[in-house]
């Protein structure tokens, strides 16, 4: 049976009954399902008089008032008016639900079905003994220029979305340093169906996803400065792996009810910003990846740009590397990870907020173990029957090599931008073979804005990294670095702490009874 509701004109729906002709002026909204606010033009069949009214069709009191007004103005029975308005409400509701469902299907990302050849190539890649170096090489082949440590860490952090404790990351750097570009290029190595990219978010955006729509997904936020309104629910989703919002809803009879909107995680969240200090609550939950702004990195990028302009970039090789890494991600499945060496892993005393940093360190080791699941023997817990894999000493060594810079930054009392400035300052003074500097000299030679330099100097003076000195001859003031080797000393301290952990593990681990015998690897079959 054909519906009496005509929606061909999206700005003017038509609804004709035996007694009334009703226009829905401006159509209806599809993003507010708890209300049905419309503007109606109601006309009696055969008459020219039109009654126009703005109303929420889900408000029973308003419907009663409109029924009496239409009956009085158009000289028609209230029973007929109420029946036609109820039918209109039902038709609009069914149409809206159908359209919302169609829109969901339209934007739903289809899961790619791998061919036998693609499965074989991806499995062989994941089973290779040099998986981490091979991954690093393929990330480079896919078109990610430089940023060797950051890009590999970011890829592994994105991979952790499939674990029970996903990692988060924030890319930090000055404007135009390539934060968003790096995040975008690495995210291209993740399957489309596993990620959600966002630019601008409303305060309640996260609460209106389906309950499990975000589970084990990678959420990419282009600019955290444009997402300030959702930082709180985002933090809760990261920490508690679930967010709930209570809203008031009126049913068709106008009865007010309470609804709970729940969205479940876990999720891996990545974002970019230039303002490290503003997002401290979020940065505490995340790995902070400081973008390489060195001249060497500039040269790498500009060389690639010239190659691209000259048509000498092998796009086929880039695409093949990208597809291989995407397919490798598709073969990974959620599995429990146990780290038998966790009790030996301690952080340097210099690390700030050690509780959360320690959790990040252990989770990053788990992420590497998870990524190498196709090389691991799959154990079965005799008590619970749960399948799990174990972290190896090699996994911890690989994690330590990658995480040194993160731990170094976590142990630093300076912000990333201020630390970069101080290291550039040290390099400049070393080249000039001098120990003192003036503001005008640094502004001129390091090309730093006056306001920015003043901010850096205030922070460095406060933390006693530099001090004011007076020239005895000219009586003018200059600055001097208090300890040029402090950052190098901190690096040595962190290296020693990580090495001490490895020494303890090796001392506590008995040597293999047959060193030449390789551990059998239980093959993993991909999901259908």
Topology of the domain comprising 117-334:
Rossmann fold (3.40.50)
What average pLDDT does this structure show over 285-313?
A: 88
Structure tokens at 389: 């894999």
What average pLDDT does this structure show over 379-395?
A: 91
Same fold, 117-334 and 416-486: no
Q: How confident is the model at residue 279 (pLDDT cuts 50, 70, 90)?
A: low
Side-by-side strand order, sheet with 477-481? 436-437, 477-481, 466-470
What dotted CATH number matches 416-486? 1.10.10
With a pLDDT cut of 70, the percent of the chain lying above it is 90
| Alpha carbon of residue 427 to chain centroid | 35
- SS3 assignment, position 178: coil
Of 203 and 470, more confident: 470
Q: Mark out the alpha helices in 217-314 (DSSP H runs).
A: 231-240, 280-283, 295-309
Beta bridge partners of 44: 20
| pLDDT at 475 (0 to 100) | 72
Q: What is the pTM of this model?
A: 0.74
Domain positions in the chain are 5-107, 117-334, 336-405+487-528, 416-486
Beta bridge partners of 198: 221
Q: How confident is the model at residue 521 (pLDDT cuts 50, 70, 90)?
A: very low
| pLDDT at 245 (0 to 100) | 83
pLDDT, tens digit (0-9, with 9 covering 90-100), for 114-125: 899 999 999 999
What average pLDDT does this structure show over 141-156?
A: 92
What integer best gives the mean pLDDT of the chain? Answer: 85
Phi, psi of 415 (to 5 degrees): -70, 165
């Amino acid at each position: 049976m054909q519906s009496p509701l005509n929606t061909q004109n999206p700005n003017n729906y038509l609804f004709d009954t035996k007694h009334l002709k009703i226009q829905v002026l401006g159509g209806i909204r599809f993003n507010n399902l708890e209300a049905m606010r419309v503007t109606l033009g109601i006309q009696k069949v055969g008459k020219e008089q039109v009654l126009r009214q703005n109303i929420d069709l889900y408000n029973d009191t308003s419907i009663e008032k409109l029924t009496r007004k239409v009956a009085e103005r158009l000289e028609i029975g209230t029973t007929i008016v109420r029946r036609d308005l109820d039918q209109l409400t039902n038709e609009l509701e069914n149409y809206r639900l159908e359209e919302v469902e169609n829109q969901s299907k339209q934007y739903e990302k289809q899961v790619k079905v791998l061919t036998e050849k693609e499965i074989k190539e991806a499995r062989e890649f994941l089973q290779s003994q040099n998986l981490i170096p091979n991954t690093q090489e393929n990330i480079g082949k896919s078109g990610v220029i430089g940023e060797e440590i950051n890009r590999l860490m970011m890829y592994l952090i994105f991979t952790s979305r499939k674990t029970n404790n996903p990692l988060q990351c924030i890319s930090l750097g000055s404007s135009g340093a390539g934060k968003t570009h790096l995040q975008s290029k690495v995210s291209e190595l993740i399957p489309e169906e596993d990620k959600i990219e966002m630019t601008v978010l409303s305060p309640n955006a996260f609460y209106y996803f389906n309950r499990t729509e975000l589970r084990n997904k990678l959420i990419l936020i282009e600019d955290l400065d444009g997402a300030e309104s959702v930082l709180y629910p985002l933090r809760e989703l990261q920490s508690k792996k679930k967010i709930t919002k209570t809203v008031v809803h009126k049913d068709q009879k106008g009865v007010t009810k309470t609804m709970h909107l729940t969205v479940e995680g876990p999720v891996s969240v990545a974002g970019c910003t230039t303002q490290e200090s503003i997002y401290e609550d979020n940065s505490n939950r995340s790995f902070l990846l400081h973008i390489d702004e060195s001249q060497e990195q500039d040269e790498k990028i500009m060389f690639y740009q010239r190659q691209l302009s000259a048509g000498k970039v092998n796009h086929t090789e880039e695409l093949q590397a990208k597809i291989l890494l995407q397919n490798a991600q598709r073969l990974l499945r959620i599995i429990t990870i146990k780290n038998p060496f966790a009790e030996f892993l301690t952080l340097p005393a210099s690390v700030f907020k050690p509780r959360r940093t320690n959790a990040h360190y252990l989770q990053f080791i788990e992420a590497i173990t998870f990524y190498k699941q196709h090389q691991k023997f799959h154990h079965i817990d005799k008590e619970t029957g749960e399948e799990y894999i174990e972290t190896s000493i090699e996994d911890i060594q690989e994690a330590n090599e990658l995480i040194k810079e993160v731990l170094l930054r976590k142990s630093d009392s300076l912000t990333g931008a201020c630390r970069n400035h101080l290291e550039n300052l040290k390099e400049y003074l070393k080249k000039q073979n001098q120990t003192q500097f003036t503001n005008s000299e640094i502004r001129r030679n390091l090309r730093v804005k006056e306001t920015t330099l003043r901010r850096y100097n205030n922070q460095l003076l406060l933390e006693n990294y530099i001090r004011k000195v007076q020239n005895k001859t000219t009586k003018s003031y200059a600055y001097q670095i208090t300890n040029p080797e402090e950052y190098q000393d901190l690096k040595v301290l962190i290296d020693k702490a990580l090495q001490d952990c490895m020494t303890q593990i090796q001392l506590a681990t008995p040597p293999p009874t047959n060193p030449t015998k390789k551990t059998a690897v239980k093959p993993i079959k991909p999901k259908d």
